[in-house]
Structure 1
Amino acid sequence: MNGKAKRILAAVSIPSFLIGTDFTGAMLLVTPIEQEYSVDITTTQWVLNAYALTLSMGLVAGGRLGDMLGHRRFVLIGLAIFLFASLACILAPNVTALIVARALQGIGSALVWPCILALAATSVEEDERAQAMGILMGTVAGGNVPAPFIAGTLAEFGDWRGFFVFNLVFALIAMVLIARFIEREKEHNTDEAVDLAGMAVLAGGVFCLLFGLDVGADNGWTDWVTLSLFAIACALFVLFPLIEKAVRDPMIPVSMMRNHQFVRTLALNGLPAIVLFLCLLYLPQYMQKVLGWSIFWSAMGMLPLAVVVASMNLAVGNYYNSVGPRKLMSLGHAFLMAGCVGMLFLQTAWGYLALVPIMVLVGLGGGLVFGPAGTAAVNAVGAKGAGLAGGLSFMFHLGLGAIGIAFATSMMFLSATRVVENALAAATIKLGSQDIHTLAAGTLKDPAVAAIIDKLNSKDAVTVTAAVRDSFAEGLHTAFWFGLVVAAVGVVVSLSVDEKKLKTEPEQT
């Protein structure tokens, strides 16, 4: 690899690392954001989901725009959007403004990621391309691992906004290096078009589904708004493949949708992400809200999960051909199931050591699935569709992860609400619906919960305190029952993969 190629790879590795940090790092900021804006998890989940939704839905469009008008140009445009959005996160006066800013960050990342992949691929010789792709995938995965520690440290010793200052500074550095070391491209593929209709319909369907889950948790599943959102989501999901068949350059080519092995591998890129994201979101909250740990120490507490995932990602590639993706992914999902079972038995009275084997199991499972699933997706379509397959794999990884978080959070809140309502009814304690909502969505560490308990007499205070403690534990159990089902589905899908068809290159039409 010559010096020019090394400089280009170094320049594009910085935004790759930045994209890797931005989703998992924000998970550690949920509690301080809740405290500052006086909101609960049903609202703060959108700080995560807004980024995941716009990033995952915009990846294919970002790649197409780069092909048409220049990858360097759209990396710089995407980084500029990301930089502006990071500043908006820092200055956000309320949680709504923060959610909008996070959505803008996702749009910027969606323009950057596919274009830096293309720049890396075209900067090296063909026999060095796998090495270049490995470096970029390693940096984005490398960003996932330290992100909670970066966010936790900045929030603990400064403010949660410090994480977005980190985003802003590194985006600026990346813009300077890319403008300095990467030349403007002279040729573009102007024959392609962006499937705006398909992208809008798919994004609209996912948004209505996520918003419906959020509204359903508050208003109930039979509420007309909830049912309307679900109906619109279903209609848009049905409409999407019809649009893809009609447009010239579809977001997902029809040949890929008909490739059953490829569809299975896309699912296998998303299913383990749901379980991993549940752990990344809820385990730090358990440490902060139940064990009473600070943000920094809860970030340190996630170290076993981070180390095991990173180690497995590095090691598992050596066994893809000898063991086979089918066995690796099946075993990985079995480990994820075991981790979820461990969470089902977790009690709030237990200490941190009870979480360690759970994190190790989930780390082993995720590490065994993520790499092989991505490689299998590329192999399912062959070399000609490798770039698009990689983008779609990442889209499903984030998209299904976001949907999983939304669904689990809704189930968790409904389960917690039921526990609180039953305890209040048994003790004939009358509280308003807003107070019940606050008790179900919070923990004993939350000031709003403490304020409600302080207004009660001593006997009722004991009852409500126990109900809040039990509701959080029951909510966690419900969320990981969902995770267990997801992991079990992953085992079934993994076993259905035909490895022989992954080694052939189907014709692209």
Structure 2
Amino acid sequence: MATVPLSSAAGRWIMISAIMASAMAFIDGTALNVVLPSIQKSMHASGTDLFWILNAYLLMLAALMLIGGSLGDRLGRKRVFIAGILIFIAGSAACGIAGDVTLLILFRMLQGIGGALMIPGSLSLISSSIHEKERGKAIGTWSAFTTVVTIGGPVLGGALADAGYWRYIFFINVPIGIVAVLILWRKVKESVDDTQDKTLDFAGAFSIAAGLAAVTFGFLRIPDTGFNNWQVLLSLGLGVLLLIIFVIIERRSPHPMMPLSLFKNMTFSGANLLTFFLYAGLSAGMLFLSLNLVQVQGYDQLQSGLTFLPFTILMVLVARFAGTLADRYGPRLLLTIGPAIAGAGLLILSFIKQTPGPGAYFTTFFPGIVVFGLGMSFTVAPLTATVMGAVSDHYSGTASGINNALSRIAGVFANAIFGAMAVLFFSGFLQRELPALSLKEQDRKEVVQQAAELGNARPPAVLNEADSKKVRQLYHDSFIDAYGKIMRISGVLGFLGALMAVLFVRNSAVTTTKQD
């Protein structure tokens, strides 16, 4: 397949369209974490509702991104990319006008369908269209400029949420998407692999979508019903069975959406395992950090968004440089030290207790965010280049789809599992400390029932002012305890990602070994 130099006019238009479309997804993700408290208050959403608002989108991404990558390889990467953008901006506009939590969750699913077609398309266009020797640099450029475009996401999200306009976060995607579609339509040539069979793997798509939905539902029910409830056990059992069936389908299918032969390349497998562990830690860490800042530490949502600027600036400054280093020396060392540094940053953040507020930011949260951001900056571009470079060009969309799907599956599992764990940690601490308060038994039960709300828990209205103050402080202490445990587990996941690079990633597999 013909490729073009990164510096050519064709190369620049490919990069601009890929960056703009990807930026929509990143703006949506980074801004949404910041505005979740406003959504919870405005729509009277429960803690479980919040996790579903996040997971409805991630679930559709994880379930359909594999087939999205395959569609691009088979039907044309530009064509599928444009279709994904159009669906995504339609879903975004619908989210902006959603009248209740249920509709918002449904429209987030529509966004996820569009993202599943759009996100693999951006990287597969780059991988299949840019000269191989410049691929790492191109992906590093994509990482850096996408971050530049999305640098205002948390800040703008916080400002709009504080002003009561959180819905406008979703409308931001519409003009960006329209411009990206116009550029693709007018300036970018179609990229399609004519050697690919055009048959689609619908059985595989259904089994993984249903399996992930069942597993996620099971974990989200644990805080309300306990692990031994029949709904939880049935959902988890059915989900695991469907995921096993998915693997069997992919092994036997003549047209698999996830060719298992790709995983014979240990570097490809290791890079995807690294992705799973690291992005699970990233998803849980960023979510609970955002909730902690706003609901417990006293930051407003604009201030919460500004706390992530060091992370973003480091991504801008380091990502392209890291991609160039990976091209020159190979990705293995960077993929070892990057996740380890990111894990260390999450561990640093885990030991922060109650702080005086935003005025103490630079002596509390700032060091951990800088270390975490540095680790991610050294990881993102080399990791993506490794995944794309470990397979042959005609599998570029599929490889991108697999890697992006795993990062979203990691996010789904992290939000569902860590959300359930956070409620258990929260209620466990609450029940240990509650006997020290002289409350009636019925009042204690009502206090514990608020555990599912986490940082948004409110004392029962029947309590007097003195007891309400004590309970409010106990809720804060319970959340900080749960937050610390979640962040430490997230840090360990970063170290597991580094271990995957040590065990499996080989520079030679990226530069010379190609899957057919």
CA 1:186–1:315 in structure 2 vs 1: closer, same or farther (change >3 Å)? closer
Q: Secondary structure at the match of 1:39?
A: coil
Give the corresponding residue for 2:4.
none
Question: For 1:188-199, what aligned pairs fall within 5 Å after superposition?
Answer: 191-199=197-205
CA 1:337–1:139 in structure 2 vs 1: closer, same or farther (change >3 Å)? closer
In 1, the alpha carbon distance for the partners of 2:330 and 2:77 equals: 35
* 1:51 to 2:61 alignment: no
Give the corresponding residue for 1:291.
297
Q: Does structure 1 conserve the Cα–Cα contact (< 8 Å) formed by 2:76 and 2:191?
A: yes
Find the partner of 2:241 among 225, 235, 238.
Answer: 235
CA 1:486–1:119 in structure 2 vs 1: closer, same or farther (change >3 Å)? closer
Give the corresponding residue for 1:173.
179
Q: How many residues end up aligned between the 2 structures?
A: 504
Question: For 1:100-119, what aligned pairs fall within 5 Å after superposition?
Answer: 100-119=106-125
* 1:224 to 2:230 alignment: yes
For structure 1, list consecutive stretches of 5 or more residues without a partner in the other structure.
Answer: none
Letter of the aligned partner of 1:399 in structure 2? Answer: I
Question: For 1:325-404, what aligned pairs fall within 5 Å after superposition?
Answer: 325-349=331-355, 351-352=360-361, 353-404=363-414
In 2, the alpha carbon distance for the partners of 1:170 and 1:34 equals: 27
Q: Does structure 2 conserve the Cα–Cα contact (< 8 Å) formed by 1:382 and 1:505?
A: no
In 2, the alpha carbon distance for the partners of 1:263 and 1:305 equals: 28
Letter of the aligned partner of 1:419 in structure 2? Answer: F
Q: Secondary structure at the match of 2:172?
A: helix
Deviates more, 1:274-283 or 1:157-166: 274-283
Deviates more, 1:341-350 or 1:298-307: 341-350
Give the corresponding residue for 1:256.
262
Q: Deviation per CA, 1:177-208, whole angstroms, max 9, x where unpaired? A: 43444567899667322222112212222222
State the 1:8 CA deviation: 5.1
Q: Secondary structure at the match of 1:194?
A: coil
Q: Does structure 2 conserve the Cα–Cα contact (< 8 Å) formed by 1:408 and 1:482?
A: no
Q: Does structure 1 conserve the Cα–Cα contact (< 8 Å) formed by 2:143 and 2:319?
A: no
State the 1:301 CA deviation: 1.7
In 1, the alpha carbon distance for the partners of 2:14 and 2:469 equals: 62
Q: Does structure 1 conserve the Cα–Cα contact (< 8 Å) formed by 2:66 and 2:402?
A: yes
State the 1:17 CA deviation: 2.1
In 2, the alpha carbon distance for the partners of 1:20 and 1:477 equals: 26
State the 1:129 CA deviation: 6.3
Letter of the aligned partner of 1:78 in structure 2? Answer: G
CA 1:251–1:197 in structure 2 vs 1: closer, same or farther (change >3 Å)? same
Q: Deviation per CA, 1:253-277, whole angstroms, max 9, x where unpaired? A: 1211333332111011222222222
Q: Does structure 2 conserve the Cα–Cα contact (< 8 Å) formed by 1:305 and 1:360?
A: yes
Give the corresponding residue for 1:472.
479
State the 1:456 CA deviation: 0.8
Relative contact order higher in (CA < 8 Å, ≥ 6 apart) = 2
Q: Secondary structure at the match of 1:431?
A: helix
* 1:449 to 2:458 alignment: yes
State the 1:108 CA deviation: 0.8
CA 1:494–1:281 in structure 2 vs 1: closer, same or farther (change >3 Å)? same
Q: Deviation per CA, 1:269-326, whole angstroms, max 9, x where unpaired? A: 2222222223322222222122322211111122122222333323322433666533
* 1:422 to 2:428 alignment: no
Question: Identity percentage over the alignment?
Answer: 26
RMSD: 2.9
Find the partner of 2:419 among 398, 409, 427.
Answer: 409
State the 1:140 CA deviation: 3.7
In 2, the alpha carbon distance for the partners of 1:97 and 1:154 equals: 21
State the 1:25 CA deviation: 2.1
Q: Does structure 1 conserve the Cα–Cα contact (< 8 Å) formed by 2:345 and 2:368?
A: yes
In 1, the alpha carbon distance for the partners of 2:331 and 2:337 equals: 10
CA 1:23–1:216 in structure 2 vs 1: closer, same or farther (change >3 Å)? same
Find the partner of 2:489 among 479, 482, 495.
Answer: 482
In 1, the alpha carbon distance for the partners of 2:335 and 2:196 equals: 39
Q: Deviation per CA, 1:318-364, whole angstroms, max 9, x where unpaired? A: 43366653332232233233223323321114542311111112112
Find the partner of 1:273 among 275, 279, 290.
Answer: 279
In 2, the alpha carbon distance for the partners of 1:281 and 1:440 equals: 16
Q: Deviation per CA, 1:12-57, whole angstroms, max 9, x where unpaired? A: 4422322232222211121101111122333212222222221233
Give the corresponding residue for 2:45.
39
CA 1:180–1:502 in structure 2 vs 1: closer, same or farther (change >3 Å)? closer
Q: Deviation per CA, 1:78-108, whole angstroms, max 9, x where unpaired? A: 2222222112101111111111111111111
Letter of the aligned partner of 1:463 in structure 2? Answer: K
State the 1:384 CA deviation: 5.0
State the 1:458 CA deviation: 4.4
Q: Does structure 2 conserve the Cα–Cα contact (< 8 Å) formed by 1:87 and 1:168?
A: yes
Q: Secondary structure at the match of 1:277?
A: helix
Letter of the aligned partner of 1:494 in structure 2? Answer: A
CA 1:264–1:241 in structure 2 vs 1: closer, same or farther (change >3 Å)? same
State the 1:7 CA deviation: 4.2
Q: Does structure 2 conserve the Cα–Cα contact (< 8 Å) formed by 1:442 and 1:449?
A: no
Q: Deviation per CA, 1:378-414, whole angstroms, max 9, x where unpaired? A: 3433555444323322222222123122222211111
CA 1:494–1:279 in structure 2 vs 1: closer, same or farther (change >3 Å)? same
For structure 2, list consecutive stretches of 5 or more residues without a partner in the other structure.
Answer: 1-6
Q: Does structure 2 conserve the Cα–Cα contact (< 8 Å) formed by 1:68 and 1:188?
A: yes
Letter of the aligned partner of 2:100 in structure 1? Answer: N
State the 1:162 CA deviation: 0.7
